[in-house]
C-alpha cells in the first residue's frame, strides 16, 4: 500500500509514535544534563565538568549522526530507531552506577551515540509511511513532540526527591525501553523506506557519497540547522540571566518569559504544519516567519520595550520562528534524492548538534563580559541570515522540486 493510499487513522498511529520517539530524544538530552546537576556534588563534579560532559554528548551525537543515516539506509529505520531509544534509556540508567568524571564521560559517549539516530530514522519513517498531503502536519507533531520532551525533563528533580538519584536514573530509563519495544513491534504501520526507493538506490549505488553531501543545497541545509540550533540553545540557556540583567526583572519573571517563548514556538510549529500542507512555496513561509521573528526580537535587543511587553513580544517571536519548522523540513525533503533519506537527514540534522556544541561557550563568554544584549543582537542577525539561506536553498533545489513527483519517500 502506498503512503498516498493509507487511511488517516494509520497516519495518526505513525505520527503519534514517531512524535513520541522524538519527544524521548529531547527528554533524554535534557534529562542527562539534569542528572549531572543532581549528582554533581555527590560525584565531585564542577560546573565546568558538567558543561564539558554535555559537550561530549552533543559532539558524539553530531559526529555519529551521519553514520546513523548510513545505517538507516542499510538496515532500515525502524530497528535503528528502536536501538537508539533503548541505548539512550539505558545510558540514563547507567548514571546510577557512575561515580567519576571518566565514568560519566563514557556514559555521555554512549548516550550521544544513541541520540544520533533520531532525525535520520524519524524522517525516513515519516516520509515513507505518511500520506504526502499530511507530511507538513506530521513534521509539526514531530517538532512539538520534541518540545514536550524538553518540558518533561525537569521531572528528574521530582524523581530524585522521591527515589534518590539512583532510583531517578533507573525510573527515567523506562520510557526509552518501552518505546523501543513498541517501535520494533509496529512493522504493520512503519514502512521501510528502502523498499520504496530500492531501484533508485541501486541505480545510484556507484556514485560516491561525498558527491551527495557536497551538493550546494545539502551544505546550505547543514549550515542552516547549525545556526538555528545556535540561536535556540543560546536563548534557552542564557535568556533568563540576560533578561534579569537587561530589564531588571526577577528571575521568576524572566523564567516565565522563557516559558512563554517556548510555548509560543510549539504553537507556531502546530500552525506551521497546516501551512506546509497547503502551500507549495515552503521557502516563502520559512523566510517570512524568520524575518518576522527577527523583527520582533529587535526591540528586545535594543532594550526598547518595558518588561510588561516582553511577554507578548516573545510569544509572537516564538510563534513566528516555530511556524517555519514544518516548511523547513519540507525544504530538506525536497533537496533529498530518492534512496538517500537516512544519509541526507543524518548529515543535515547533525548541524543541530554542531550549533548546540559551539554556541553555549560563545554566549557564556558574552554573559561573563556583561554583554547580555549582544545575545539578542546575534539572534536577530541569525534570523536574517537564515532567511537568506532558505532562499538560497530554494534556488539550488528548484529544478528537483519541479521534476520530482510529490510522493512519499
Cell, residue 194? 528502502
Distances (CA, A) of 275 to 3, 33, 137, 271, 389: 20, 35, 9, 7, 20
Contacts of 18 (CB under 8 A, 6+ apart): 122, 125, 126, 138, 142, 145
72 φ/ψ angles, rounded to the nearest 5 degrees: -60, -45
| Nearest partner of 126 among 20, 218, 11, judged by Cα | 11
Contact 242, 367 (CB under 8 A): yes
Residue 399's pLDDT is what? 47
Instruction: State how far the Cα of 312 lies from the Cα of 309, in Å rounded to an integer.
Output: 6
Instruction: State how far the Cα of 259 lies from the Cα of 240, in Å rounded to an integer.
Output: 10
Q: What is the pLDDT of residues 242-261, one digit of tens each?
A: 899 999 998 888 888 888 88
User: What structural domains and CATH numbers belong to the chain?
Assistant: 3-196 (1.20.1250.20), 209-399 (1.20.1250.20)
Distances (CA, A) of 267 to 16, 153, 260, 270, 321: 17, 19, 10, 5, 10
Q: Which helix (H) or strand (E) holds 98?
A: none
Going residue by residue through the chain (409 aa), what tens digit of pLDDT does each one get?
445 556 778 889 999 999 999 999 999 988 998 898 889 888 888 877 887 888 889 889 988 988 898 888 888 889 999 999 999 999 999 999 998 999 999 999 999 999 999 988 998 898 888 888 888 888 888 888 888 888 788 888 889 989 999 999 999 999 999 999 999 998 888 887 665 555 444 444 445 567 777 888 888 888 998 998 888 877 777 788 889 999 999 888 888 888 888 888 888 888 888 777 777 787 888 899 999 999 999 999 999 999 999 999 999 999 999 888 888 777 777 777 666 667 777 888 888 888 888 887 788 788 888 898 999 999 999 999 999 998 888 787 644 443 333 333 3
Q: Residues 223-245, buried b or exposed e (16+ Cβ, 10 A)?
A: bbbbbbbbbbbbbbbbbbebbbe
- Can you list the alpha helix ranges (DSSP code H) found in 44-154? 47-75, 77-94, 101-115, 118-129, 135-152
The rounded Cα 52 to chain-centroid distance in angstroms is 20
Q: Which position has the grid cell 543582537? A: 377
Concatenating the DSSP letter of every residue in 374-393 gives HHHHHHHHHHHHHHHHHHHH
Q: Is the dihedral of CA 401, 403, 408, 409 positive or negative?
A: negative
Residue 69's pLDDT is what? 86
Instruction: State how far the Cα of 255 lies from the Cα of 380, in Å rounded to an integer.
Output: 21
Contacts of 392 (CB under 8 A, 6+ apart): 216, 220
Instruction: State how far the Cα of 198 lies from the Cα of 184, in Å rounded to an integer.
Output: 22
Residue 408's pLDDT is what? 34
Q: What is the pLDDT of residues 322-359, one digit of tens each?
A: 888 888 777 777 777 666 667 777 888 888 888 888 88
Amino acid at each position: 500500500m502506498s503512503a498516498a493510499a493509507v487511511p488517516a487513522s494509520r497516519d495518526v498511529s505513525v505520527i503519534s509514535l514517531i512524535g513520541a520517539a522524538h519527544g524521548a530524544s529531547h527528554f533524554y538530552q535534557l534529562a542527562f544534563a539534569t542528572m549531572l546537576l543532581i549528582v554533581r556534588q555527590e560525584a565531585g563534579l564542577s560546573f565546568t565538568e558538567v558543561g564539558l560532559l554535555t559537550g561530549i554528548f552533543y559532539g558524539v551525537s553530531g559526529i555519529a549522526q551521519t553514520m546513523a543515516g548510513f545505517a538507516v539506509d542499510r538496515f532500515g529505520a525502524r530497528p535503528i530507531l528502536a536501538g537508539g531509544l533503548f541505548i539512550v534509556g539505558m545510558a540514563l540508567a547507567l548514571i546510577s552506577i557512575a561515580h567519576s568524571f571518566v565514568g560519566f564521560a563514557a556514559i555521555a559517549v554512549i548516550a550521544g551515540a544513541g541520540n544520533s539516530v533520531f532525525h535520520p530514522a524519524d524522517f525516513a519513517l515519516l516520509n515513507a509511511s505518511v500520506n504526502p498531503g499530511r507530511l507538513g502536519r506530521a513534521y509539526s507533531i514531530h517538532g512539538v513532540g520534541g518540545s514536550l520532551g524538553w518540558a518533561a525533563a525537569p521531572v528528574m528533580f521530582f524523581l530524585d526527591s522521591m527515589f534518590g538519584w539512583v532510583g531517578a536514573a533507573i525510573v527515567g530509563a523506562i520510557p526509552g525501553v518501552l518505546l523501543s519495544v513498541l517501535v520494533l513491534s509496529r512493522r504493520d504501520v512503519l514502512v521501510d523506506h528502502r523498499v520504496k526507493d530500492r531501484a533508485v538506490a541501486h541505480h545510484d549505488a556507484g556514485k560516491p557519497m561525498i558527491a551527495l553531501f557536497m551538493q550546494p543545497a545539502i551544505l546550505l541545509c547543514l549550515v542552516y540547522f547549525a545556526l538555528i540550533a545556535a540561536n535556540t540553545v543560546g536563548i534557552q540557556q542564557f535568556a533568563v540571566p540576560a533578561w534579569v540583567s537587561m530589564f531588571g526583572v526577577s528571575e521568576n519573571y524572566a523564567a516565565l518569559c522563557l516559558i512563554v517563548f517556548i510555548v509560543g514556538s510549539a504553537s507556531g510549529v502546530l500552525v506551521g504544519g497546516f501551512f506546509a500542507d497547503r502551500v507549495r512555496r515552503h521557502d516563502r513561509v520559512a523566510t517570512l516567519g524568520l524575518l518576522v521573528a527577527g523583527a520582533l526580537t529587535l526591540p528586545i535587543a535594543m532594550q526598547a520595550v518595558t518588561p510588561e511587553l516582553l511577554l507578548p513580544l516573545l510569544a509572537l517571536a516564538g510563534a513566528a520562528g516555530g511556524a517555519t519548522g514544518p516548511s523547513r523540513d519540507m525544504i530538506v525533503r525536497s533537496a533529498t534524492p530518492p534512496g538517500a533519506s537516512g544519509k541526507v537527514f543524518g548529515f543535515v540534522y547533525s548541524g543541530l548538534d554542531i550549533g548546540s556544541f559551539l554556541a553555549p561557550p560563545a554566549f557564556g563568554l558574552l554573559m561573563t563580559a556583561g554583554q547580555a544584549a549582544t545575545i539578542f543582537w546575534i539572534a536577530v542577525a541569525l534570523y536574517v541570515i537564515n532567511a537568506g539561506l532558505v532562499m538560497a536553498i530554494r534556488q539550488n533545489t528548484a529544478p528537483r522540486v519541479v521534476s520530482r513527483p510529490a510522493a512519499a519517500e
